[in-house]
Structure 1
Amino acid sequence: MPRIAFVFPGQGAQYPGMGKELAEKYEEAAQVFAAADRISPYSISNLCFAGPAEQLNQTEFAQPALLTSSLAALLVAKKMGICADILAGLSLGEYSALVAAGALSLEEALPLVQKRAILMQEAVPPGEGAMAAVLGMEAGRLEDLCHMAAGQVGIANYNCPGQLVISGEKEAVRAVTASIKEAGGRVIPLAVSVPSHSPLMYEAAMKLKAELAQVKWQEPLIPVVSNVNARENGALDFEELLTQQLFKPVLWEQSVRYMMNKADYFVEIGPGSTLSGLIKKIDRHRVLGQVEDLSSLEKLLKKVELI
């Protein structure tokens, strides 16, 4: 039996309509949305199914919506007999992975993620932070350019070979962008309001730590690979790792390479296929499929029958 890794998307994967098809057909998915609606002060299901996009794209709402949609897709995958041997999630998606592993419950995770999103949104005044994707540059060279820049800026995401993300103060990001272009790299500014995974998130992380300390963390039933150290960890480590996750880089490529030693195939659970695209750039033969709607589920089941 092939070993399978589940990966869960982070902020940016959200879209109106996510999870709707699965909730309409599978009671397991519908129950996740119903539970989220009971826990949340607003209807997460309505936001996921109908938007509006303007609200759904706000950090405060995007993160809990993605957590809920991903966990609904997870239960459908499990119902269809697809189970994971190892888990990981990109940024916010790590919380989905921890719930999937039994390290905390949806009832604990949803308020925690809502608080996390608000702290991130409030951490930096509007217009003072920025993020940008960097294509075609080696990580070491980009790290040097960030270190030479005035102000706070650094690599926020090591996504895959040839794709990195920088984050920090707006002017510092602008200066590094100019240096990247001079060196022959490509830069794509990201339409985000929060400079995630940068030192600007440190104070927000310290506030989040107080919330993380209230969680009764359980030992994961399935290994979860952390964004911070690209390794699986125990319950005693989650508070510190999730605190650091806010202001330290996401080691996604490193995490995927670690998981490749422990899984034969990857399945993306939740909205979108961004993570599948990144993994294909590391090893295009390892992605088995996604579970985000009925079409993707059907395609995945057909592939599973062939292995």
Structure 2
Amino acid sequence: MKRIAFVFPGQGSQEVGMGKAFYDQYESVREQFYQADKRLGVPLSQYMLEGPDETLTKTENAQPALLLLSTAIVKLLEDKGVQAELVAGHSLGEYSAHVAAGTMSQEEALTLVQKRGQLMEQAVPAGQGSMAAVLGLDVEAIERVTTEIRDQGEVVEVANYNCPGQIVISGSKEGVDKACERLKEEGAKRALPLNVSGPFHSRLMKPASEQFSKELGHASLQDATIPVVANVTAQPVQDQEKIFNLLVEQLYSPVRFEETIQYMMDQEIDAFVEVGNGKVLSGLIRKVNRRMKTFNIQDPESLEAFLEWYKED
């Protein structure tokens, strides 16, 4: 049997119309969308299928929307007999990974990520936090510059180690703006502010993490049935107590995605399957290793294409 890893996209991969083809074709998907609307008390499926875009893009809507589609696809894959050897997600996507690994139910995860999104939105007043993607500069230079700017009293740090040549920084607006100027001087090809609502994966998310730990404490977490490679450590975890601590830390710690992919590749994986909307993670994986086989499943056609490969002898 082929050895595969599931990876799950995070915030930014949402778009109006996501999941529509699955919704139209599968009664089980329609039922999950209906139950999610009921559980969350908002017409989430309408935001996903019809928009408007500005409503779907709100953190408290985008996070459960992405999780709902990813985990609905996982259920379809399970029905087809597809089993992953290990799983991981990018930021929010780590929750979809935990649903796939049996750590939490889809229903509980939806409530958690809705609350997570609300707390992240509230942690820093609008306009005071920022994030930026830094392209074409080595990690050491970025870490040195962000440390220098922190020493000057501003908040800025690495938020995502995505792939070679693509690092995301996060912090106060002033800190990120200063860092972008300095990083361009250091030779970065580009330093682009991101269209996000807050300084995610920075120390400015600490207050949100403290409140979120109480929410997570009410959830009935289980040990994972397959290893989940954690964002914070880029190492596998299955113990529920460790998972709890890592999910709290994840809010203010960098996402070590490149190391996560490298670890998973070392486990003799035949292919990565990006489960959910978009192809962002597949692109990052190919930048880590361009020969690695990747699939993304976001509609029935891409599901069938993957299954055809998976069932080949």
TM range (shorter): over 0.9
- Hey, what does 1:178 align to over in structure 2? 181
Q: How far apart, in 1, do the equivalents of 2:33 and 2:102 lie? A: 18
- Hey, what does 1:239 align to over in structure 2? 244
Q: How far apart, in 2, do the equivalents of 1:104 and 1:305 lie? A: 29
Deviations 1:130-189 (A, max 9, x none): 100011111111000000013010000000011100000001111110111111102111
The question of 1:271 aligning with 2:277 is answered yes
Shift of 1:213: 1.3
- Hey, what does 2:232 align to over in structure 1? 228
Q: How far apart, in 2, do the equivalents of 1:285 and 1:78 lie? A: 27
Q: How far apart, in 1, do the equivalents of 2:262 and 2:10 lie? A: 19
Which of 228-237 and 32-41 deviates more? 32-41
- Hey, what does 2:110 align to over in structure 1? 110
Q: How does 1:1-307 map to 2 (within 5 A)?
A: 1-149=1-149, 150=152, 151-185=154-188, 186-233=190-237, 234-262=239-267, 263-306=269-312
> Which SS does the other structure have where 1:91 is aligned?
coil
Q: How far apart, in 1, do the equivalents of 2:158 and 2:65 lie? A: 26
Q: How far apart, in 2, do the equivalents of 1:284 and 1:34 lie? A: 39
Which of 19-28 and 265-274 deviates more? 19-28
Shift of 1:111: 1.1
Query: 2:299 is matched by which residue type in structure 1?
Result: D
Shift of 1:294: 2.1
Give the TM-score normalised by the residue count of structure 1. 0.97
Task: Please tell me whether the aligned partners of residues 156 and 170 of structure 2 are also in contact (alpha carbons under 8 angstroms).
Answer: yes
Deviations 1:231-262 (A, max 9, x none): 11111112211111000100000111111122
Deviations 1:12-56 (A, max 9, x none): 000111111112212332232122122110122111111111100
> Which SS does the other structure have where 2:236 is aligned?
coil
Q: How far apart, in 2, do the equivalents of 1:34 and 1:235 lie? A: 29
Q: How far apart, in 2, do the equivalents of 1:188 and 1:295 lie? A: 34
> Which SS does the other structure have where 1:82 is aligned?
coil
Q: How far apart, in 2, do the equivalents of 1:117 and 1:222 lie? A: 26
Task: Please tell me whether the aligned partners of residues 141 and 186 of structure 2 are also in contact (alpha carbons under 8 angstroms).
Answer: no
Q: How far apart, in 1, do the equivalents of 2:235 and 2:227 lie? A: 9
> Which SS does the other structure have where 1:164 is aligned?
strand
Task: Please tell me whether the aligned partners of residues 2 and 310 of structure 2 are also in contact (alpha carbons under 8 angstroms).
Answer: no
Which of 23-32 and 216-225 deviates more? 23-32
> Which SS does the other structure have where 1:14 is aligned?
coil
Shift of 1:269: 0.3
Q: How far apart, in 2, do the equivalents of 1:219 and 1:259 lie? A: 20
Q: How many residues align?
A: 307
Task: Please tell me whether the aligned partners of residues 19 and 73 of structure 1 are also in contact (alpha carbons under 8 angstroms).
Answer: no
Which of 144-153 and 27-36 deviates more? 27-36
Query: 1:47 is matched by which residue type in structure 2?
Result: Y
Cα distance change, pair 284–304 in 1 and its aligned pair in 2 (3 A)? farther
Q: How far apart, in 1, do the equivalents of 2:187 and 2:232 lie? A: 29
Structure 2: state its 5+ residue gaps: none
Following TM superposition, the consecutive aligned residue runs of length 4 or more in structure 1 with deviations greater than 4 angstroms are none
Task: Please tell me whether the aligned partners of residues 145 and 179 of structure 1 are also in contact (alpha carbons under 8 angstroms).
Answer: yes
Query: 1:271 is matched by which residue type in structure 2?
Result: N
CA RMSD of aligned residues (A): 1.3
> Which SS does the other structure have where 1:243 is aligned?
helix
Shift of 1:306: 4.7
Give % identity.
47
Q: How far apart, in 2, do the equivalents of 1:175 and 1:303 lie? A: 48
Task: Please tell me whether the aligned partners of residues 29 and 75 of structure 1 are also in contact (alpha carbons under 8 angstroms).
Answer: no
Query: 1:236 is matched by which residue type in structure 2?
Result: E
> Which SS does the other structure have where 1:187 is aligned?
strand
Task: Please tell me whether the aligned partners of residues 288 and 300 of structure 1 are also in contact (alpha carbons under 8 angstroms).
Answer: no
Which of 16-25 and 72-81 deviates more? 72-81
Structure 1: state its 5+ residue gaps: none
